[in-house]
Amino acid sequence: MTLIVIDPGLCARDGICVAECPQGLLAPGEDGLPVPVPDADSRCIRCGHCFAVCPKGALKLDGLSPDAAPAVSGRSGLSPEAGLDFLTSRRSIRNWKDRPVPRELLEKALDAARYAPSGINMQPAHWLVVEDSRVVRELAGMVADGLRHAGIMPDYVAAFDAGREVMLRGAPHLVVAHADASGWYDPATDCVLALSHFELAAHALGFGTCWAGLFRRAAETWPPLRERIGLPPGHKVCGALMAGYPKSRFFRLPPRKSLRLRYL
Ligand SMILES: Cc1cc2nc3c(=O)[nH]c(=O)nc-3n(C[C@H](O)[C@H](O)[C@H](O)COP(=O)(O)O)c2cc1C
Ligand code: SF4
């Protein structure tokens, strides 16, 4: 399939796609119509910027027509203040309502996570949603076993053994991002960014999350846990989030370190 097809009747020859391509794969032709460079197909990272930025919808990418892509409305009405309030009001949730998050909402948040940035647009994240809270409890026990076996976080292990579920905080669900780590590319940052998108999408959709760092740590080294979650060969767990409806409401921002900032 041809990578890029430009409709000469629609193209305004404005050079926007030429300027936008991060790989420099488009050049203005003789009449100003953008032309892909000869090796564009192999060097294209499928970021879709040329396709998404064209105001005329003149460019097809990999056979995808602009009409078939969701439009960015730009009319969400979110003021700068509301946007910042949204970001700063996200909190880690550790007390949950006894009510599951509907699958449609979890999938809506995961769908938003597909739009997170990723190095050379690799989009490496694979997802596992542990929907059943009984399985989350079982995994919490395996996290404790893994940490005990590795000889780390003894305080947490002791608290867990004493009956405090500090491993996965009694969460109704667990969302795990894992990726192929067998090659040269380390997918960890991209997966964390995708999880971060998920976390903010959850906040927008009215449910809450908490990073499950102990789960990720145990999954690094504890074979029974890796086996139980069906981790494919070569994959690593890059991060996980507990999820559910928050029991508490937060009325003010918590204190934070002051901004340590330098300019150069
Ligand atoms: C860890 C990471 C490293 C990146 N490094 C670069 C970079 O060095 N130069 C660059 O132009 N873009 C870089 N990007 C941006 C990606 O190419 C971009 O996120 C991807 O093509 C998807 O496009 P989008 O962010 O517009 O959705 C990086 C992204 C991530 C997450
Ligand atoms: S999809 Fe991205 S990398 Fe590929 S030609 Fe378009 S702008 Fe360039």
- Give per-residue pLDDT as tens, 26-77: 999 989 999 999 999 999 999 999 999 999 999 999 999 999 999 987 767 8
What angle do helix axes 80-88 and 188-205 make, rounded to 10 degrees?
110
Count CB neighbours of 190 within 10 A: 23
- The tens digit of pLDDT for each residue in 80-97 reads 999 999 999 999 999 999
d(CA 24, ligand 1 centre) in Å: 14
Q: Which of 211, 208, 231 is nearest to 219 (CA)?
A: 231
- Domains and their CATH numbers in the chain: 4-68 (3.30.70.20), 90-244 (3.40.109.10)
The ipTM is 0.94
Pick the atom of ligand 2 nearest to 4's CA. Answer: 5
For ligand 1, whether the C-beta of 193 sits within 6 Å is yes
Nearest protein Cα to ligand 1, atom 5:
119
DSSP assignment, residue 70?
P
